[in-house]
Each structure stands twice: as structure tokens, then as C-alpha cells.
Amino acid sequence: MCRRLPFILPVLAAALACGSSQAGEPAPGADAPRRQALEARREQLARKREAQFRAADRDGDRGLSREELAGSGLPRVLLQRFDAIDRDGDGRLSPEELQALDRERLDSATVGNAVAGQTP
């Protein structure tokens, strides 16, 4: 073992010196597929929500009342959190308010990756 040590130490030092600047960093462009997948998911969710919104908006005023929400196929959490989601306080949920909620939800889902050193 002692005879190999003088050989191993310079090789190990050289390997550490060469790889230290890139250790733990993804290769350039490595996160591009993840970003594309996230953007595709956002677009898919936006289309789905728009179709659900149009179906639930029975009076066609581009705003969902509590009554319209209660009778729709949209998630019940929207009714439970109605006041928090209704940012302008007009008693109706607009498509923009629902899109903001979806963006926040998707963005918060990527926080764990950013904390782990990966970017969305």
C-alpha cells in the first residue's frame, strides 16, 4: 500500500483540480428539457382550465360566482379558497385570477428542485 501511495496522491490531486470548478453543476443546456416540459405542462393546464372555465361560466360574463363554481367540475378547493383567490374582491373569479393561482402552484412545485441545486 505504501508503494502505491506516491502514485495515487498526484493522480487524485489532478482529478480534484480538474473537476473542482464543475463539481455539482449540470452540463450547459442540461436543464433545457426540464424547462420545456414545465412550459408544456403550463400550456396544457391553461387550456384545460380555460375549457373548464367556459363550461362553468353559465351566464357568459367571464367571471365565476360561488354558485357557478359550486355546480362546476372545477376543483372544490377553489370554492373553499374563493376569497383568497378573488384578488380584486368583486365576488367573481376571473380567468386571470385562476391563471395566477395555477402559476403559483406550478412555481411552488419547482422550489424543491431549486433548493436541491437544480433549476426548473
More confident residue, 19 or 34: 34
What are the C-alpha distances in Å from 10 to residues 2, 5, 62, 91?
A: 14, 9, 70, 71
Look at residue 16 and tell me if it is in a domain: no
This prediction has a pTM of 0.58
Q: Which residues on neighbouring strands pair with residue 64, listed in sequence order?
A: 93
Tell me the C-alpha distance between 49 and 118, whole Å: 28
pLDDT attached to residue 73:
81
- Total of domains in the chain: 1
Look at residue 62 and tell me if it is in a domain: yes
Q: pLDDT by residue (tens digit) across 28-71?
A: 666 888 889 988 988 887 888 888 889 999 999 999 999 999 98
Look at residue 23 and tell me if it is in a domain: no
CATH code where residue 49 lies: 1.10.238.10
- pLDDT band at 120, cuts 50/70/90? very low
Look at residue 48 and tell me if it is in a domain: yes
Look at residue 83 and tell me if it is in a domain: yes
pLDDT attached to residue 17:
53
Look at residue 91 and tell me if it is in a domain: yes
pLDDT attached to residue 57:
94
Q: pLDDT by residue (tens digit) across 61-117?
A: 999 999 999 988 888 899 999 999 999 999 999 999 988 887 887 777 765 555 555
Look at residue 29 and tell me if it is in a domain: no
Look at residue 79 and tell me if it is in a domain: yes
Residue 93 backbone dihedrals phi, psi, to 5 degrees: -95, 120
pLDDT attached to residue 92:
96
Residue 45: which domain range? 38-110
Tell me the C-alpha distance between 32 and 83, whole Å: 37
